[in-house]
Amino acid sequence: MRSILVVNPKGGSGKTTLATNLASFYAVWDVPVGLVDLDSQKSSTDWLKSRPESASTIQGFYGLKRKIDLPQDLRRVIYDSPAKVSLASVSKLINIVDVVLIPVLPSAIDMRATAKFIADLLIKVKVRHKPVKIAVVGNRMQASYKSSALLENFLENADIPFLAKLRASQNYVHVGREGLGIFDMTPSTVKQDVETWKPLVNWIEQKTKE
* pLDDT digit string, tens, across residues 163-195: 878 888 889 899 999 999 999 999 999 999 999
Q: What is the pLDDT of residue 209?
A: 42
> Which of the two residues, 89 and 207, has the higher pLDDT score?
89
Over range 153-170, report the average pLDDT: 77
Quickly state the pLDDT bin for 98 (edges 50, 70, 90). very high
Region label for 64, one of left (φ > 0), alpha (ψ between -120 and 50) or beta (otherwise): alpha
Q: What is the pLDDT of residue 210?
A: 44
On the question of pLDDT at 123 being above 70, the answer is yes
The CATH T-level fold of domain 2-205 is Rossmann fold (3.40.50)
Over range 192-199, report the average pLDDT: 91
β strands within 81-202, DSSP E? 99-104, 133-141, 162-167
Which range, of 5-19, 116-130, 149-163, averages the lowest pLDDT? Answer: 149-163
Segment of 71-80, 134-143, 153-162, 166-175 carrying the highest mean pLDDT:
71-80
Helix (H, G, I), strand (E, B) or coil at 59: strand
Region label for 180, one of left (φ > 0), alpha (ψ between -120 and 50) or beta (otherwise): beta
User: Domain map of the chain by residue range?
Assistant: 2-205
Over range 75-96, report the average pLDDT: 88
Phi, psi of 41 (to 5 degrees): -75, -15
Q: What is the pLDDT of residue 146?
A: 58
Q: What is the pLDDT of residue 63?
A: 81
On average, the pLDDT of the chain sits at 85
- 6 and 94 Cβ atoms separated by less than 8 Å: no
Name the nearest CA neighbour of 56 among 202, 179, 206, 191.
179
Q: What is the pLDDT of residue 165?
A: 80
- Summarised one tens digit per residue, pLDDT across range 3-60 is 999 998 888 788 999 999 999 999 999 999 999 999 989 999 999 999 999 999 999 9
Q: What is the pLDDT of residue 208?
A: 43
Q: What is the pLDDT of residue 118?
A: 84
- 112 and 102 Cβ atoms separated by less than 8 Å: no
> Which of the two residues, 138 and 191, has the higher pLDDT score?
191
